[in-house]
Structure 1
Amino acid sequence: MFRHLFKMIWNKKKQNSLLIVEILLSFLVIFAVFTFAINSYNNYAKPMGFNYKQVWAISYNHTLETKNSDSVVLVYENLLRNIKSMPQVVDAGYASGNIPFANNHMSTGIDNNGHKVDNVNNFFMDENYINVMGAKMIAGRWYNKADGGSKANIIVINRKLKEELFGNTDAIGRTFGNNDDKNKRKVIGVIDDIKTDGDYQQAPYGLYNRHDTAAYKWMGKILVKVSPGTDAAFEAKLYKLMANTFKNSNIEIEHLDNKLTAYNKITLVPLIILSIVAAFLIINVALGIFGVLWYNINKRRGEIGLRRAIGAPGSSVSGQLVGEALILATLSLIIGAFFAVQFPLLNVFDLPAVVYLGAMLLAVIFIYLLVLVCSLYPGKQAAAIYPAVALHEE
């Protein structure tokens, strides 16, 4: 039966080639949509790693006229002390510009005795960061004030970087860097992964550096944890305090929950665009299948009438047309699967292989369902042809 159907399709390969190409393109686009969607859902299902609610981010410019380093440090320490003394403030601390959801990255690379790790995010902050963010330490400790005077090159890394550098072994007290590197860093703590790029992106590799006093001039951010119910009146007071400290500075106060909402919308734009393109292709494929099957019915009314006249049931006629459509889809999917399987084999976009395989499976099921649904009604119409009418017309 399948050999007979394949032979009939092959004899009309010029007529069917365009439909095969349309199904192939639809499969590839749908595969891309499902890959993006599955990866986004997997990232969304993972915990954020910190509590971003009631956290405000204050952006400012360093506009102090004094060049004396001790005076600069004194101003910044007094400012933070004044912010913390406000009754609505739970905690506050300085941070570098690559705070969560800021679309700002400070990337570096690590070479640990030949084991290279690229795209490692460098975060700079003070000892207050862990409390302000509500982040979780999974091993070791966070920085304290005593570390400010220490000459040891210590570092806190996140779980993802720890697993990349040290696997399942304990990382506390271990160092990383080349053998000839005199500035090897000693791990004192491992912090849980923080998704700084929104709900739908995975947490990056992270190095958490404690800033020194010289960094005050370029840090540019203050993270403030406020108590629930804090209103705009307090925000105005906070803005006034910042404006009085930094004359002629661009002061901006943002809420991290609002920044997360905006960042998520930007992240989902590619998925929306791919979905629109896929929808147009699906419509074209559906119309193509309808058109080809209707054409086949009109051109083969004599053949269908003869088959009905010699006793073929309507279900057999309908099944033949549906079977031809499914074989066309299978030919397209074989070609499409060949290209799709290259993604996990070549580790394209550095995504887990299970994401690609799941997307491939869903795309195959979707194409088969689409072809089946589009071919059922024409097949039903072909089965309803009366033998006498068809043979009379022939």
Structure 2
Amino acid sequence: MIRHLFKLIWNKKKQNFLLLTEILVSFMVIFAVFTLVVNYYQNFKQPMGFAYDRVWVISFQSDVKIKDKDSLDVYYKNMLGSIKAMPQVQEASFSSSNVPFSANTHMNNIDYKKLHINRVNYYMAGDTYDKVLAMKVIEGRWFGKQDDAAAAKPTIINQTLRQQLFGNGKAIGEKVGGEGSKRVIVGVVQDVKAKGDYQEAGLAMYERIDTSSNDGHGRVMVKVNDRADAAFESRLYKLMANNANNSGIEIEHLADKRKSINNTTLIPMIILLIVACFLIINVALGLFGVLWYNINKRKGEIGLRRAIGASGNSVSAQLVTESMILATLALIIGTFFAAQFPLLNVFGLAASVYVIAILLSVVFIYLLVLVCSLYPGKQAAAILPAIALHEE
């Protein structure tokens, strides 16, 4: 029976080629959609790694003319102290411009023995940065006064980078290099999804901000209590504006920045979903049209089969099976191309993302073809043999 169906499909290869191509293209588009969906879902399930509620970011431009390091240190510490003195402020810390949920990204590399790792998210943070964001230190410690006279730069890394550098070995106290400088690992923190709910945490390293230098300043993150309102925000703005040489002040809420970056992340998937919907509609209409055309062209064949004793269900099953065989041929080709993505590590996603996306895409295409072929098959089963042979 299957061999006979393959022969029928081959005899109408020109007619079936377009349908097979439509199914193949649909599979690849659906595969792309499911890859995005599965990747976003897996990232969404991971813990955020920090608390963003009631955390505000103050951006400022400081044209400080102080050259003496001790005086500059006092200037920045006084600025931070004046913010912490406000009753609505629970904690505050200096930060580099790549605060969580911002569009700014700083990258660095890190070396350890024979390992060289690129594209590590690089953050500059103050001594209370972890308290502002309620970050979890799982090994070692955060920055503190004991790092003032450190010979090597104290560095904190996240779990993912720790695993790549040291595996199950010792991390605290190990010295690593990068860009001609030596760093010592003093702590390991839980992964932080700094680019929103749907993006992975990636690799991250944190370096202590030097308040005796102008490098790395420009952001203050403030953890406020539930009494902080618009009036307090206005007072905070005035406090920063009254600091000498401060200008270009902007206050943002991390909760609002999270919504904005999540929307930006979801836009490509929404566009792809729209394209996929139009393509699926076209494929469904194509299936209906081709099967309907087949029924009209094959009325004589169907009538003859019915006349020699074939049941309506067997005729219907034949048309549905032909469609499923066409879908299988398209899926074999599509799966071959889709399998290259995890094999070649395209886009750097986990292999499990592609495997799940392939399986979901195969199931989706089979269901689509099955649904689209059931009604035409039912119509074919309703053809009476006498009428069909009389028309022929």
TM-score by length of 1: 0.96
Identify unmatched segments of 5+ residues in structure 1: none
Percent sequence identity over matched residues? 58
**CA distance in structure 1 between the aligned counterparts of 2:23 and 2:168, rounded to whole angstroms:** 45
The AA in structure 1 aligned to 2:262 is N
Does the CA contact (< 8 Å) of 1:73 and 1:216 recur in 2?
Answer: no
Residues 247-301 of structure 1: CA distance to partner in whole angstroms, max 9, x if unpaired?
Answer: 4611110000110000000001111111111111101110110010000000011
What corresponds to 2:14 in structure 1? 14
The AA in structure 2 aligned to 1:245 is N
Q: Using the TM superposition, give the Cα deviation of residue 302 of structure 1 relative to its aligned residue in structure 2, in angstroms.
A: 1.0
What corresponds to 2:260 in structure 1? 262
Does the CA contact (< 8 Å) of 2:76 and 2:211 recur in 1?
Answer: no
Pair 1:175–1:151, CA change in 2 (3 A): closer
What corresponds to 2:295 in structure 1? 297
- Equivalent positions of 1:36-185 (< 5 A) are 36-177=36-177, 183-185=181-183
The AA in structure 1 aligned to 2:208 is R
**CA distance in structure 2 between the aligned counterparts of 1:393 and 1:51, rounded to whole angstroms:** 75
Pair 1:135–1:386, CA change in 2 (3 A): same
**CA distance in structure 2 between the aligned counterparts of 1:14 and 1:199, rounded to whole angstroms:** 48
**CA distance in structure 1 between the aligned counterparts of 2:307 and 2:210, rounded to whole angstroms:** 92
What corresponds to 1:341 in structure 2? 339
Residues 74-127 of structure 1: CA distance to partner in whole angstroms, max 9, x if unpaired?
Answer: 222111101101110000010000110111111011232331211101110110
The AA in structure 2 aligned to 1:162 is R
**Match 1:314 to one of 312, 315, 322:** 312
Indicate the SS of the match to 1:219. coil
Does the CA contact (< 8 Å) of 1:24 and 1:333 recur in 2?
Answer: yes
**Larger deviation, residues 306-315 vs 107-116:** 107-116
Indicate the SS of the match to 2:117. strand
Does the CA contact (< 8 Å) of 1:62 and 1:217 recur in 2?
Answer: no
**Larger deviation, residues 141-150 vs 45-54:** 141-150
What corresponds to 2:349 in structure 1? 351
**CA distance in structure 2 between the aligned counterparts of 1:154 and 1:106, rounded to whole angstroms:** 18
Indicate the SS of the match to 2:248. coil
**CA distance in structure 2 between the aligned counterparts of 1:166 and 1:218, rounded to whole angstroms:** 28
What corresponds to 1:225 in structure 2? 223
**CA distance in structure 1 between the aligned counterparts of 2:194 and 2:358, rounded to whole angstroms:** 29
What corresponds to 1:201 in structure 2? 199
**Match 2:363 to one of 362, 365, 371:** 365
Pair 1:57–1:269, CA change in 2 (3 A): same
Does the CA contact (< 8 Å) of 2:284 and 2:372 recur in 1?
Answer: yes
Q: Using the TM superposition, give the Cα deviation of residue 320 of structure 1 relative to its aligned residue in structure 2, in angstroms.
A: 0.6
**CA distance in structure 2 between the aligned counterparts of 1:59 and 1:248, rounded to whole angstroms:** 10
Does the CA contact (< 8 Å) of 1:122 and 1:208 recur in 2?
Answer: yes
**CA distance in structure 1 between the aligned counterparts of 2:220 and 2:214, rounded to whole angstroms:** 11
Does the CA contact (< 8 Å) of 1:148 and 1:212 recur in 2?
Answer: no
Does the CA contact (< 8 Å) of 2:101 and 2:195 recur in 1?
Answer: yes
Identify unmatched segments of 5+ residues in structure 2: none
Does the CA contact (< 8 Å) of 1:142 and 1:189 recur in 2?
Answer: yes
Indicate the SS of the match to 2:63. coil
Pair 1:61–1:267, CA change in 2 (3 A): same
Indicate the SS of the match to 1:341. helix
**CA distance in structure 1 between the aligned counterparts of 2:191 and 2:28, rounded to whole angstroms:** 33
**CA distance in structure 2 between the aligned counterparts of 1:249 and 1:172, rounded to whole angstroms:** 40
**CA distance in structure 1 between the aligned counterparts of 2:358 and 2:52, rounded to whole angstroms:** 35
Indicate the SS of the match to 2:61. coil
User: Number of residues paired by the alignment?
Assistant: 392
Q: Using the TM superposition, give the Cα deviation of residue 246 of structure 1 relative to its aligned residue in structure 2, in angstroms.
A: 4.7
The AA in structure 1 aligned to 2:132 is V
**CA distance in structure 2 between the aligned counterparts of 1:52 and 1:320, rounded to whole angstroms:** 59
**CA distance in structure 1 between the aligned counterparts of 2:12 and 2:78, rounded to whole angstroms:** 83
Does the CA contact (< 8 Å) of 1:50 and 1:194 recur in 2?
Answer: yes
**CA distance in structure 2 between the aligned counterparts of 1:387 and 1:125, rounded to whole angstroms:** 82
Indicate the SS of the match to 1:187. strand
The AA in structure 1 aligned to 2:287 is I
TM-score by length of 2: 0.97
Does the CA contact (< 8 Å) of 1:89 and 1:227 recur in 2?
Answer: yes
**CA distance in structure 2 between the aligned counterparts of 1:66 and 1:118, rounded to whole angstroms:** 36
Residues 39-94 of structure 1: CA distance to partner in whole angstroms, max 9, x if unpaired?
Answer: 10000000000001110000011133545544433222111101101110000010
The AA in structure 2 aligned to 1:110 is I
**CA distance in structure 1 between the aligned counterparts of 2:204 and 2:92, rounded to whole angstroms:** 21
**CA distance in structure 2 between the aligned counterparts of 1:300 and 1:182, rounded to whole angstroms:** 76
Does the CA contact (< 8 Å) of 2:139 and 2:187 recur in 1?
Answer: yes
Q: Using the TM superposition, give the Cα deviation of residue 311 of structure 1 relative to its aligned residue in structure 2, in angstroms.
A: 1.0
